[in-house]
Amino acid sequence: MYYFVKVAQKEHVTQAAEEMHVAQSAVSRQIHQLEEELGVKLFLQKGRNLQLTPVGQLFLKRAEAILKELEKAVQEIQEFIDPELGEIRIGFPHSLGIHLIPSVVAAFRKLHPNVKFRFKQGMYPSLIRDVINGEIDLAFISPYPEKCEQVTGEILLTEELAAILPPNHRLANEEEIHLSELKDDTFVLFSQGYSLRPIVWDACVQAGFSPSIGFEGEETDTIRGLVAAGMGVSLLPEMALRHTSELQPVSVRIAEPKVTRTVGLIRRVDEKLPRVAETFQRFLLEYFKDHTTK
């Protein structure tokens, strides 16, 4: 079944065999035996590649689900023997990967040095989808999804967004500004699909204007660099401004309206987490409780 899934993913026996470090003949033999046992053709030859038949596509969905459950069962046994040797599969958006993720993982590994992490970076919709599909155990996400019935979790923190301006901007020396003072400026925003974009857009609308978008980017470093180079203005969360670089924009607090984002931790509804992931979840709740009250 494992060979079948790998061949289906690669659509090529040779490539699948190379990735699994086994002989091509062994893979072909296993696929043939599986087809004989099921009494159906799972693949059709299409040039040099293989293509799943309709029944092969149906079987692939079940096979992937079965292998995921098997992997989970093996992990549970390993954790039962020693929960300190488990692995945590965790997702996060790019904006949290610069400072927050390294900080909390480093703090956790001081207490549990043998626990492994498998990281998956993604955009807001894909992180929710990966949690629902069981691709990851937990996901840091921002903003926290209030209306998704298939996931549950907790808000870990709420942080303010600040205006970032070029060093020579007319408001660069102000301690705080009203967002409406930027209505005539060009904005550098995240691309469509990134959760910070609607937060910034909605804040501008609340301040009485629709932002004029001059540039779009997909990473906080890109946004900061473009602003520092004088390409426009933007809004970024506090934690995204802790990292410094050669091109550094000016950060100014926004007095009105107050612009914030929530950062949460989500998991699947009615799904028991692996013991090691439960331990990490409890650690995070205490970690952010301590760090937000100090």
| Token output for 47 | 């040039």
* Cα gap 89→66, rounded to integer Å: 18
| Class (C level, CATH) for 158-260 | alpha beta
* Cα gap 292→155, rounded to integer Å: 12
What digits encode the pLDDT tens for the residues 158-214?
999 999 999 999 999 999 999 999 999 999 999 888 889 999 999 999 999 999 999
Q: Report yes or no: 122 and 196 within 8 Å, Cβ to Cβ.
A: no
Identical fold at 83-156+262-293 and 158-260?
A: yes
Alpha helices in the chain (DSSP H): 2-10, 13-20, 24-38, 54-81, 94-97, 100-111, 124-132, 196-206, 220-228, 275-293
The pLDDT of 124-152, averaged and rounded, is: 91
The pLDDT of 226-243, averaged and rounded, is: 88
* Cα gap 264→154, rounded to integer Å: 6
| CATH architecture for segment(s) 83-156+262-293 | 3-Layer(aba) Sandwich (3.40)
What digits encode the pLDDT tens for the residues 102-121?
999 999 999 999 898 999 99
The predicted structure's pLDDT at residue 294: 46
The predicted structure's pLDDT at residue 94: 84
* Cα gap 105→112, rounded to integer Å: 10
Is residue 139 pLDDT above 90, yes or no?
Answer: yes
Is residue 80 pLDDT above 70, yes or no?
Answer: no
Percent of the chain topping pLDDT 90 = 57
Domain boundaries, the chain: 2-80, 83-156+262-293, 158-260
The predicted structure's pLDDT at residue 84: 74
Lowest mean pLDDT among 71-75, 217-221, 249-253, 275-279: 71-75
CATH classification number, 2-80, choose in 3.40.50.300, 1.10.10.10, 3.10.20.30, 3.30.300.160: 1.10.10.10
Q: Pick the more confident residue, 28 or 240.
A: 28
